[in-house]
Every structure is written in structure tokens, then in C-alpha cells.
Homo-oligomer: A and B are copies of this chain.
Amino acid sequence: MHSHELKEILNPGSIAVIGATNNEQTMGNGFVRSLVEYGFPGKIYPVNPKHAEIAGLKAYANIRDIDGPVDYVISSVPAYAVLEMIRDCGQKGVKAIHLFTARFSETGRPEGIELERQVLEAARAAGIRLIGPNCMGLFYPGKGISFSDALPHNGGSTGFISQSGQMAEDVCRYAALRGVFFSKAISYGNAIDFNECDFLEHMADDPETERILMYVEGVRDGSRLCAMLKYITPAKPVIILKGGVGESGTRMTSSHTASMAGSKQIWTAMVRQSGAVVAESMEELLDIATTFTFLNPIKGFNVGIAGGGGGASVLAADLCEAAGLRVIPLPMDIREELKQSGSKIWDWIDNPADMSIRDRSDFTPGHCLELMGKHPDFHLLIALMMDPHHEHQKKITLEDILAQFKIDTRLIKPMLAVVPDKSLGCEEFADWKWELLCRLRSKLLELRVPFYPTVGRAARAAWKMADYFARAVN
């Protein structure tokens, strides 16, 4: 496999969807509709002998009936029809098939395993490369290729390689809510031909991709993966979430993508030693992706924290420390500076800077963060943004909050913002507090300040970035 082959395959001029349907609830329809809606500029050919038109496009009874060339096929036919479909594609000169078709080795049944073997054999005989089977395939918003109407239309600079189709979709749509958008996301399922290493090699070379996320259940060739990670990660961060790290999860992976998973400790050590970043849940994968997308490298573990009241400050210190960050005491020269400026709490205020003890209303979290940001002992900052909740706070504007935290382009240290999840529960869904938080979050991203719903999550993501750069050769 050479990376340039995959590059060509993932940039098709024309796509046929075999097994397309007119039922909006099936993927056979969804694939066609998504290509239309996301603006794929090449030819789209729905194939189904039972329909003359699908999703507003002319449909073909067989791929062989199509006049022009077909570069890429999305197969939505049932498993029993897949061998014939591959032979048809071979005759048509198709280069690659994405097999959404499932029910192969992941069933654990001998007939499924045998059929999967035959599929690979047939594809090789026909000179066709395979993505899948049992996967959602390619999301490439820049080229108008999507497998779902729930994915963001915007493209971005993050790549995602996901063995699971559901994870590919969930991560892309949740990441969008955090301001992270994708160059490409690929769901690759049972990986009988192209596997995670092939896609990783491609994304490593891909100029549109600045960082790579991975969700893998089984690894076909661990030493190849580690060697590639060692080669790639000094230049491009790779963040990996592994499914099937425990006993029961391992049992599940075999029935999901027919993968053999392994021990969590071995996996984590192996991946970390290879220079990649290990995420332990989907939420953490999103948090770390946000951190790497928005922040300059965090080059140390000393964190300065401001904005909370007493309880929040104490808990923030605990959680940052539990995550591996160092919550250093407020340096004496900052205290001196506070004293000079007339503060009456210069001897009392600390790091985290507890804002409930402030003596003057014009002394803000922004002042503390500015002092910490300028000080060489601090490597990163965390702004604890309270969610407004009193009626008199209804007058607070977005500008007030930003001014309180002095968040502007003069930021000289990486800063993470904790914006609590107002929307955690079952409260009325359209109130002013929620609206303000939404606008705040959008604005923070505009200012390149990523946000996190809890300080624990911010701290763990920051530690993972700092750890990445602490291990980095260059």
C-alpha cells in the first residue's frame, strides 16, 4: 500500500451507490442524499434495478449500465449480493469499494467469516481496493462527501480514523460543538484490506490534516502502528481512543468489528511511548482534540487558575493536581506587584485566585490571569467562568464577561476556559442563561480559547498536551 494510492481513492471524480433506495430511513438512501446535500461536485449514480429515480437522481439497474467512469462505489447491498456486486464493479473498472454491507466475520459465524474471505479474494481478483466491510466509509466535507446529514458542513484541519461508524459520526458532530472541524473522517470497520495503519499513513502525508484522532478496536499489526506513530507524532499529534481495553469490552469488539483487543495497561504504555496521546473516553478524545486545535503548545505543567469562588477554587486545585498539573503557590513577585497596586489581599490571595475574597470590584479574574500569564513560572492558565444565575445578572453582557477575564488577543500563555454545562438537565430549554453561555462559548472559540464543561476535564486535557510536548523530541 502506498499512501498516494489512498489519496487517489479518497478523491473520486464519480461515486456510485449500489443498493440505493427511496426509503429515507435507510443508509441506501442516506448515502445518496448526503452526497447531494453536501455538494459532491462529481457524478453521483444511484444503482437499484427497482427504481428509475432515487433522491432526485436518475437511477441505474446495474453499475455496468452507467456510461461514464465510476471511481468509487458505496455498497449498501445485502451480504448475500456482495460477491456479484464486486464482479460487476470489476467489469466497470471501479478502483475502490466502500462496503457499508455488513454481516461478515463480526457475526462470529463460520459462514460470515468464509464470505468475508471470498469478498477479499474477489476484490483482489478484480483489482479493487476495499474500505470496510461493516463501516460508514468516508466523510470529506471539503469534497462534498458525507455519509450522514448530521455531520457539519464545514471542513477543518483535524483528521479522524475510526473503526466504528457510530463513533465517526458522534465524534464529528460533537467536535463541531467545540469548534473542531474535520479534513476527513474515515470509518473502516472490519479492515480486511485497508486498515488503520494505511489510513494513518495517508493522513500523515495529508497537507489538509494537522492532527489525527483515532478510534480503534483491534490493531492488525501493532509494531507497524507503533513505528508509524513514532515517525508521525513529532510533527503531527495523534490522539487515540481504544475500544475494548477491558475483558467485556474485548468480548464486544469481536462481535462489533471482529477485532481482538488487549490489555489496557500494555496498550497505554505502548502508544504513549510511541509519542501519541491516549484518550480514555469519547469525551476525553473531544477535550484533547479541542486543546490541540485551539492552543499553542503547553510546555510545562504549572497552571494558574482564577475566576472561581472559594469552593470552586479548592476543588479546581484538587482536580488539577489529580490530573498531574502543578498548582504552584502565587509567586512572591506577583504578591509584591499586587501590594504595590494597593491590593489589600496581596498576602492572602493565592493560586487558584479565589475571587470571593476580593476587596475591590475592579479587581477581576482577568487581573490575576494577566499577572500569571506574564510570569515565567506559569505554563498554562485556566479561567473558571461562573455561569450567571442570579436575576440581577440578567443584565450581564458577553462583553462584561470577556472584560472580567481580559480575554483578548494579547494572551501570551495557553488558556483553557471552564464554562459550566448549564444545560445538564431538564430545565426549560430556551432561557437567557443558556443563551448567554452559548454565545460566550462561540465567542471564546473565536478568540482561540477552548472551553470545557468541568475543570477536571480541562485539567486532564491540558496535562495530556503538556505530556505530549514534554515527550516530543523537537
This chain: copies in complex:
2
Residue of B nearest to A164 (CB): B311
A245 interfacial by beta-carbon distance below 8 Å: yes
CB-nearest residue of chain B to A243: B314
* Separation of A395 and B24 alpha carbons in the complex (Å): 12
Q: Which residue of B lies closest to A326 (CB)?
A: B248
Chain B CB within 8 A of A472 CB = no
Q: A446 vs B459: C-alpha distance in the bound complex, in angstroms?
A: 35
A309 and B165 contact, CB distance less than 8 A: yes
Q: How many angstroms between the C-alpha atoms of A256 and B58 in the bound complex?
A: 71
Q: Does residue A426 face the partner (Cβ distance < 8 Å to B)? A: yes
Within 8 Å of chain B (Cβ to Cβ): is A150? yes
A residues 164-196 in Cβ contact with B at 8 Å:
164-167, 169-170, 173-174, 176-179
CB of A255 within 8 A of CB of B348, answer yes
Asked if A281 and B357 sit within 8 Å, CB to CB, the answer is no
Knowing A315-B282, A425-B178 touch, does A310 contact B164 (C-beta < 8 A)? yes
B contact residues around A327 at 8 Å (CB): 246-249
State A424–B441 Cα separation when bound (angstroms).
10
| Bound Cα distance A408, B438 (Å) | 34
- Known interface pairs A312-B166, A426-B177, A427-B177; A389-B108 also in contact (CB < 8 Å): no
Given A317-B252, A318-B245, residue A107 in contact with residue B348 (CB < 8 A): yes
Any chain B CB within 8 A of the CB of A148?
yes
Q: Is the beta-carbon distance between A390 and B434 smaller than 8 angstroms?
A: no
Q: In whole angstroms, what is the CA distance A389 to B30 when docked?
A: 13
Given contacts A251-B329, A425-B441, 16 further A-B contacts (CB under 8 A): A108-B348, A109-B347, A109-B348, A165-B309, A166-B310, A167-B315, A179-B425, A245-B318, A246-B318, A248-B328, A251-B317, A256-B311, A283-B454, A426-B442, A426-B445, A429-B430
A selection of 7 A-B contacts at a CB cut-off of 8 Å is: A109-B348, A164-B311, A246-B317, A246-B322, A248-B326, A252-B354, A426-B441
